A and B are shown apart, each in its own frame.
Chain A
Amino acid sequence: MDALCAPADKSIIDLEATELRLGLPGTSSSSSEKLQIFVGRSNKRPLGESSMEGSSNSRSSSSSSNDPEKDGCLGCSIPPSKTQVVGWPPIRSYRKNSLQHKKEEEAKFSGIYVKVSMDGAPYLRKIDLGGYEGYRQLLTALEEMFKLAIGEYSERDGYKGSEYAPTYQDKDGDWMLLGDVPWEMFRSSCKKLRIMKGTEGVGLTCSP
């Protein structure tokens, strides 16, 4: 029985159309044997694109599990708190697949490592821009990494009060002061970071 319990392809189980179901008291309670069956069966389904995966995984299984713990062998890859009901919430597969796709893309976006240099430092560092939600977080991280204080951004004066100015090189190759443009725009155009020190950095704040 164990062989049948082990899901052949973990990614199928993790998809929205899963086998575990929240049953109401009184709904049909077919034997738990059926639970084990359809896991083994998932090998035989024609698993093509994700669109078909969704439908081919629709389990008519009347496996109401009033006790998720009991279905341990089936749910071995799903913590009980994440049990999902087949076909619920009622969203068209096309829409669900689009969301899934988008989320995967956004996950990709989180691996943007850029070099960070600081004037006078013997070596460079690297940080993942995808791990931050805004300038504040990024600046705090830089301050911690290099043990310095950069201070508050202001449109007029840049980072006045600090001897450091955080800058970045954009797609055109120009060195820009951090903070002028919206975060997302910065993140998509930043090639590398440089923390400028002293008088060189001060010159970046342009006076009208």
Chain B
Amino acid sequence: MNYFPDEVIEQVFDYVTSHQDRNSISLVCKSWYRIERLSRQRVFIGNCYSISPDKVIERFPAIRSLSLKGKPHFADFNLVPYDWGGHVYPWIVAMAKSKVNLEEIRLKRMVVSDESLELISSSFANFTSLVLVSCEGFTTNGLKAVAANCSLLRELDLQENEVEDHRSQWLNHFPESSTSLVTLNFSCLKGEINLAALERLVARSPNLKTLRVNRAVTLDSLQKILSWAPQLMDLGVGSFIHDPDSETFYKLKNTIVQCKSITSLSGFLEVAPYCLPAIYPVCSNLTSLNLSYALGIPASELIKLIRHCKRLQRLWILDCIGDKGLEVVASNCKDLQELRVFPSDPFGAGNTVVTEEGLVAISFGCKKLNSLLYFCHQMTNAALITVANNCPNFVRFRLCILDPTKADPLTQQPLDEGFGAIVQSCKGLKRLSLSGLLTDMVFLYIGMYAEQLEMLSVAFAGKSDKGMIYVLNGCKKLRKLEVRDSPFGDAALLADPGKYETMRSLWMSSCEVTLGACKALARKMPMLNVEIIDDSELTVDEALCGGAPVAVTADGDDKQKVEKMYLYRTLAGPRNDAPEFVCTL
């Protein structure tokens, strides 16, 4: 390869798109490193604090697409305090200042201010794509700026963000000249929408392929939108309630029949079950169906709907479908690859439920299943072993038993054997979440068999440090480990400090780790940021006297248990935006 001029090598590199592969080729030799870095356009940074924006720009001056992740995964479940960090603003400022030709920004679990959105919209002339997943900190005012100023915008995709509604009529701010939209997803917005403006926007966007609306968009409006956009492939419905005898409903049914390209359906944020038959005509083409936000559809209606969906590959559904409903899925959806069953009543007594029986039925019927997220009330070893035998192709296996330490109800045994069977059978398993009663055995199995495992989530599991040590020793490809409420302590934390440099991050909360051990680790591994997060703020005395919050420092008693620890490898050193309750050791 050394005999080829750079331009030729660059052409070859163009075919290498995955960032992991590009990272690999950049390690081959100096000249490849140089060619690769000057030609890389898509940059993915899994932890926004692992490197500074300036370094990124320096290394990849041709950057066009930036993907960033901020808060640790457990932030999704309220385990990370509100203002822990993950701000995107410094990144935008750096990119704007250096005048890179940024076209796409994809963010997950980050804090995005209106100021950031405004800066994006005014700094990058060729900006086309904004994707925000599980972010917060912005309002509809920020969206207004994006709509108004990004004249080439193709993609505005807002997934499950917490957005404050300021009645900004942001949708009205797409100029009449804006005709380039391909993806528009605002399903997470809580406020009202100018329906006429939306209809006009859709009418002048011939390339629109994905449209997911919020609950403010009525069935009436949906009918008009669909008549303007029969080319849609991905539809997210807002409100789906209407008198089925009305002319509007009749028109809708006819319009839907014209939408022959819809392969993905979601939303139904408000739905009357008797309106569902209107969508039966598109069901036979569906490969993706997400009804996980559609509360209020009884199992019988869900089952009727599923019977029409023979080509489903991805199904997200609520557990009110029940075990019987999952049996219907198993017999109808032979192409199913991804299944997520969410709890409709997470804290309830559990009358309509799914149990291990539903999952077993799925495993018999859906042999192609490779990705699972399953909330249930109970699980047995026997069921897990059966599932492992039937479905050896799992890449993601996440089980959540609502009572987190529940044993196998048939045998009263821990679920070690069941999960052991899963890791042994599924040789390609990359992501695993455990729950139920578990001892150190399950971790022994994971360490022995889960060779491709990259991410492990542990809660209320294990008996001693050995559990965590098995995993750290055995799982060579481990990148992210997150543990809560498990008896792993200092011996586990310090067993292999070097391991953490091969991983993106480690989270441990409500475990047995002490301050002293964290300090020792931080001293030994300067390339790690070891953060202690303590949002309990006040000591006893100060509470009594109504004192002010005290900043967390490293000066406490070394034997003191650390409530929350988050460590990650980084080239950027301790971060300068850490709030008071975070101390980087």
Question: A interface vs B, CB < 8 Å?
Answer: 4, 16-17, 21-24, 26-28, 30-31, 33-34, 36-38, 40-41, 49, 51-52, 54-62, 64, 82, 84-96, 98-99, 102-103, 106, 171, 182, 184-185, 188-189
Residues of A within 8 A of B79 (CB): 58, 60, 86-87
Complex: chain A residue closest to B295, CB-CB: A102
- Interface check B392, CB cutoff 8 A: no
Given the interface pairs A58-B535, A60-B533, A188-B272, the reply to whether A92 lies near B346 with Cβ below 8 Å is no
- Say whether, besides A95-B342, A98-B293, A17 and B78 are in contact (CB < 8 Å): yes
- Chain A residues whose CB sits within 8 angstroms of the CB of B563 once the complex forms: 28, 60-62
List 19 additional A-B contacts (Cβ < 8 Å) besides A27-B486, A90-B77, A94-B160.
A26-B512, A28-B512, A28-B563, A34-B540, A37-B538, A40-B543, A41-B537, A56-B82, A60-B533, A60-B536, A62-B510, A85-B485, A86-B78, A88-B459, A91-B77, A93-B77, A106-B296, A171-B243, A188-B241
Contact B347 A84 (CB under 8 A): yes
Whether B82 contacts A52 by the Cβ 8 Å rule is yes
Question: Which of chain B's residues 456-494 have a Cβ closer than 8 Å to chain A?
Answer: 457, 459-460, 484-487
Asked whether B244 lies within 8 Å of A185 as measured between CB atoms, the reply is: yes
Most chain B CB within a 10 A radius of its CB, from A86, A103, A182: A86
Interchain pairs with CB closer than 8 A, number: 153
Inter-chain contact B536/A94, CB cutoff 8 Å: no
One of B82, B162, B343 near A91 (C-beta < 8 A)? B343
**B144 touches A (CB below 8 Å):** no
A92:B134 contact, CB within 8 angstroms: yes
Check B543–A24 contact: CB distance below 8 A: no
The distance in angstroms between the C-alpha atoms of A42 and B30, with both chains bound, is 56
| Complex-state Cα separation, A82 to B540, whole angstroms | 27
Q: Mark B431-472, 1 if CB is under 8 A from A, else 0.
A: 001000000000000000000000001011000000000000
* CB <8 Å contact, A55 and B81: yes
Contact of B273 among A27, A49, A103, A184 (CB under 8 A): A184
Q: How many Å from the CB of A32 to the closest CB on chain B?
A: 11
Given A60-B533, A60-B563, A87–B74 Cβ distance below 8 Å? Answer: yes
When distances are taken between beta carbons in the complex, the residues of chain A under 8 Å from B375 are 89, 91
B80 part of interface (Cβ distance < 8 Å): yes
Query: In the complex the two chains form, what is the Cα distance from A61 to B293 in whole Å?
Result: 31
Q: Which residues of A contact B404 (CB under 8 A)?
A: 22, 85, 88-89
| B536 neighbours in A (Cβ, 8 Å) | 34, 37-38, 59-61
* Chain B CB within 10 Å, residue with most, of A23, A28, A31, A38: A28
B402 on the interface (CB 8 Å rule)? yes
Contacting residues, chain A, for B485 (C-beta < 8 A): 21, 23-24, 27, 85
**A93 with B487: CB separation less than 8 A:** no
Report B-chain residues with C-beta under 8 Å of the C-beta of A87. 74, 77-79, 484
Contacts of A28 in B (CB 8 A): 510-512, 561, 563
B273 to chain A, nearest CB (A): 6
B344 touches A99 (CB 8 A): yes
Select from chain B the residue with minimum beta-carbon distance to A64. B510
- Tell me the bound Cα distance from A95 to B76 in angstroms: 10
Give the Cβ gap from A39 to chain B, nearest Cβ, in Å.
Answer: 10
Closest to B535 in A: A60
A-B contact pairs, 26 of them (CB 8 A): A21-B485, A24-B485, A24-B487, A27-B486, A27-B510, A27-B511, A27-B512, A28-B511, A28-B512, A33-B540, A34-B540, A41-B543, A51-B162, A54-B78, A60-B535, A88-B404, A89-B343, A90-B76, A90-B433, A91-B342, A92-B76, A92-B77, A94-B160, A95-B293, A184-B272, A184-B273
CB-defined contacts of A92 to chain B, threshold 8 Å: 76-77, 134, 160
Q: Bound state CA distance, A94 and B181, in angstroms?
A: 26
A residues in contact with B534, CB < 8 Å: 60
User: Closest residue of chain B to A96, judged by CB?
Assistant: B346
Decide if B543 touches A189 in the complex (CB within 8 Å). no
- SS of B interface (majority): loop
CA distance in complex: A34, B543 (Å): 10
The answer to whether B510 and A95 touch across the interface, beta carbons within 8 angstroms, is no
Check A94 against B188 for contact (C-beta < 8 Å): yes
Least Cβ–Cβ distance between B512 and chain A, in angstroms: 6
Most interface-central of A36, A40, A55, A171 (chain B CB within 10 A): A55
By a CB distance below 8 angstroms, the chain A residues around B512 are 26-28
Q: Given A60-B536, A91-B346, A99-B344, is A27 in contact with B487 using a C-beta cutoff of 8 Å?
A: yes
Q: Collect the chain A residues with CB atoms within 8 Å of residue B558's CB.
A: none
Question: B491-522: which residues lie under 8 A (CB-CB) from chain A?
Answer: 509-512
* B272 neighbours in A (Cβ, 8 Å): 184-185, 188
B:238-292 near A, CB below 8 Å:
241, 243-244, 269, 272-274, 292
The answer to the question of B161 belonging to the interface, with a C-beta cut-off of 8 Å to chain A, is: yes
Q: How far is the CB of A195 from chain B (nearest CB, A)?
A: 24
For A37, A89, A99, the residue with the greatest tally of chain B CB atoms inside 10 Å of its CB is A89
Cβ contact within 8 Å between A24 and B405: yes
CB distance from A65 to the nearest CB of B (A): 12
Smallest Cβ-Cβ distance to A28: which chain B residue: B561
Residue among A16, A82, A93 with most chain B CB within 10 A: A93
Q: Collect the chain B residues with CB atoms within 8 Å of residue A84's CB.
A: 347
B164 close to chain A: CB less than 8 A: yes
Specify which chain A residues have a CB less than 8 angstroms from the CB of B347 in the assembled complex: 16, 82, 84
Residues of A within 8 Å of B224, CB to CB, are none
A94 interface neighbour in B162, B345, B400, Cβ under 8 Å: B162
Closest CB-CB distance, A38 to chain B, in whole Å? 6
Residue of B nearest to A87 (CB): B77
Please measure, in the bound complex, the distance between the C-alpha atom of A41 and the C-alpha atom of B345, giving whole angstroms: 29
Distance in Å: Cβ of B132 to nearest Cβ of chain A: 12
B540 x A37 contact (CB < 8 A): yes
Decide yes or no whether B136 CB sits under 8 A from chain A: yes
Q: Which 3 A-B pairs have the closest CB atoms?
A: A87-B77, A58-B78, A51-B162
B564 at the interface (CB under 8 A from A): yes
Q: Which of A16, A49, A89, A103 contacts B400 (CB 8 A)?
A: A89
* Residues of chain A with a CB closer than 8 A to B535's CB: 58-60
**Cβ contact of B543, chosen from A23, A37, A59, A62, cutoff 8 A:** A37
A56 CA / B81 CA spacing, docked (Å) = 6
0 or 1 for each of B318-350: is its CB under 8 Å from A? (1 = yes): 000000000000000000000000111111000
- Check A49 against B164 for contact (C-beta < 8 Å): yes
Least Cβ–Cβ distance between B30 and chain A, in angstroms: 44
- Distance (whole angstroms) from the CB of A21 to the closest CB of chain B: 8
Q: Complex: how many Å from CA A87 to CA B564?
A: 14
Q: Which of A4, A21, A189 contacts B243 (CB 8 A)?
A: A189
Q: Which residue of chain A lies nearest to B244 when distances are taken between CB atoms in the complex?
A: A185
